[in-house]
Amino acid sequence: MESSPINRLPPDSLHQIFSSLPLRQIMICRSVCKFFNELLTSQCFTEIISTRPPLNLLALRPPHHHSHRHGSQNIRPYIHVYDPEQNQWYRFNLDFLPFRLPQPVASSNGLIYLWCDSVDSNESSKSLVACNPLTREFKVLPQLGSAWSRHGTVLVDSMNRVMVLTELAALYYSGMVIANQWLKFSSNLPSKPRSPVLMSSSVFALCDVGSPWRSQWKLFSCKLLNLTITHTNWICLEKHEWGDIFDIIKRPRLLRGNGDFKLLMIGGLKSTFSLNPACSTILILRLDLESLEWEEAGRMPLDMYRGFQESSKFKVFGGGDRVYFSAKRMGKLAMWDCWEGWRWIDGVPGYADGLCRGFVFDAKLTMMP
Amino acid sequence: MIVLKSSDGETFEIEEAVALQSQTIAHMVEDDCVENGIPLANVTGEILAKIIEYCKKHVEGGGGSEEELKIWDKEFIENIDQSTLFNLILAANYLNIKTLLDLTCQRVADMIS
């Protein structure tokens, strides 16, 4: 096959041509031929592109795979990703990771973090790996015991700081603080942190301070700078004006809002104050972290809510401009966009019982820290 | 007036202002080595003619509004075949004519997407 004339252009001109294309197109062109692939993955090109605004995507977390169930090695690891702007599902290949069953759990700054079996295949340890599926680079963080991967929630922020939170303790990693080491802190929270969120250098979480018969949720926050030598320093955020705001939401969860100062709280809107009330719909509340005032951001339309009403549990994930909802046996996701409102998302890759979880993935060509 | 000689022996006589849109030629003029015409070994007569057509239009400031110039550019770029387009990029790169390079590269980008 004779080489196409485009191959004869000097690299500068080629860079100029491709750098005016949207990121989505560039990714597609990478698969067109080897020439394009080398051109568009080269360091100088990725540097030109790296300052682009990211693709706002949603990545799905695969359901808990029990490793002894799927013994076959020929399942190619990939991550399912949804593009809300194009209403399209994609798969990003993770085969550049030299690990058997990577479990993606979180993302920030264009990097996806996954739990992987440690290189020495010691059954009782896992490592968190940060990778960029677009550049196919990855970095392995220091090893941790596998209990952290089973029970801990991984939080990451745009400065590549990582926290793993469990009921009793927190691990903190920042490439800058102490080189290549996890710092461990015991937690001073009254009970297990629920739905932790890391944003603007603070961790926010809900904590149940009520009795075993009646939940009483409160909002706690901990500034990353306020980690003392031994423990996290959670303080309770509340204002008298909030009144009963936590009492109207059933099984509340937190998500980031859009911008650095908005926190979302989402859950069923209780229709009564009885102990186990039915809910009339799903409510999204927004807290302004500067003024500490709540407002209603959205509520699910009733015809949409009918699908969720039947299942006792539903999952809420996402954050930023969009929140996603998944329920058992539904086969589709509900999505709330803070600008455009509610809609259904079809074509969800099949999971065993239809219940899936995910996280926001802002894809861009970030370099490894 | 400046004389340009293409790789296949054609000569073109053009006004200095037209030629100066090429940074490469502008440097040569500064360095005062244009006595016997400028040989352009990398550019054929056919392509050079196209480039001169572009530069002539753009030196007058289009002779009209910015809108009219854009329309002319659109016509210009849409009426050339692929091979000419790529040769124009190579020539605009060599001659360092930024506006033409931007126009041609954008055209390729549009064709890809």
Strand partners, A223: A202
CA angle A129, A160, A369 (to 5 degrees): 75
Instruction: Report whether pLDDT(B106) > 80.
Output: yes
Gap between the Cα atoms of A48 and A92, Å rounded:
22
Does residue A92 share a domain with residue A213? yes
Does residue A206 share a domain with residue A140? yes
Average pLDDT over residues A200-222: 89
Burial-class residue A301 by CB neighbours within 10 Å (0-12, 13-18, 19+).
middle
A17: nearest CA partner in chain B? B105
pLDDT tens digit sequence for A25-38? 777 787 788 888 88
A369 domain-assigned: no
- Return all residues near A24 (Cβ < 8 A) that are at least 6 apart: A55, A83, A86
The structure tokens 């990855």 sit at A138
A368 domain-assigned: no
The answer to ipTM > 0.90 is no
Instruction: Give A268-285 as a DSSP string.
Output: EEESSSSSS--EEEEEEE
- Least confident segment among A21-25, A35-39, A186-190, B5-9: A21-25
CB A156 within 8 Å of CB A108? yes
pLDDT tens digit sequence for A159-169? 888 999 988 88
Given B93, B106, B108, which is nearest A12 (Cβ)?
Answer: B93
Does residue A147 share a domain with residue A45? no
Helix ranges restricted to H, A114-181: 146-151
Q: Is there a contact between B108 and A6 if contact means CB atoms under 8 Å apart?
A: yes
A7: nearest CA partner in chain B? B86
B109: nearest CA partner in chain A? A17
pTM (2 d.p.):
0.76
Does residue A84 share a domain with residue A26? no
Residue of A16, A27, A86 to mutate, testing the B interface (most B Cβ within 10 Å of its Cβ):
A16
**In Å, how far is A20's CA from the nearest CA of chain B?**
7
CATH class, B2-112 region: alpha beta
Please state the separation of Cα A276 from the chain's center in Å.
30
Does residue A39 share a domain with residue A103? no
Tokens of A345: 């998302």
Does residue A67 share a domain with residue A30? no
**Residues in B lying within 8 Å of A, measured between beta carbons:** 82-83, 86, 89-90, 93, 101-102, 105-106, 108-109, 112-113
Does residue A114 share a domain with residue A127? yes
pLDDT tens digit sequence for B30-68? 888 777 788 888 889 999 999 999 998 888 665 678 888
Query: A18 — contact with chain B (CB < 8 Å)?
Result: yes
Given B83, B86, B113, which is nearest A21 (Cβ)?
Answer: B113
Does residue A227 share a domain with residue A178? yes
A14: nearest CA partner in chain B? B105
Q: Are strands B2-5 and B38-39 parallel, antiparallel or unpaired?
A: parallel
Does residue A155 share a domain with residue A268? yes
Does residue A109 share a domain with residue A48? no
Given A5, A10, A25, which is nearest B113 (Cβ)?
Answer: A25
Instruction: Report whether pLDDT(B85) > 50.
Output: yes
CATH assignment at residue A159: 2.120.10.80
Domain carrying residue A156: 53-363
Counting the structural domains of chain A, the total is: 2
Does residue A122 share a domain with residue A166? yes
CATH assignment at residue A4: 1.20.1280
CB A191 within 8 Å of CB A207? yes
pLDDT tens digit sequence for A273-313? 777 778 889 999 999 999 999 999 999 999 999 888 877 78
The structure tokens 């015809």 sit at A303
How big is the A-B interface in CB pairs under 8 Å?
39
Does residue A42 share a domain with residue A60? no
Instruction: Report whether pLDDT(A176) > 70.
Output: no
pLDDT tens digit sequence for A27-76? 778 778 888 888 887 878 877 777 777 888 999 987 755 443 444 444 66
Gap between the Cα atoms of A315 and A313, Å rounded:
7
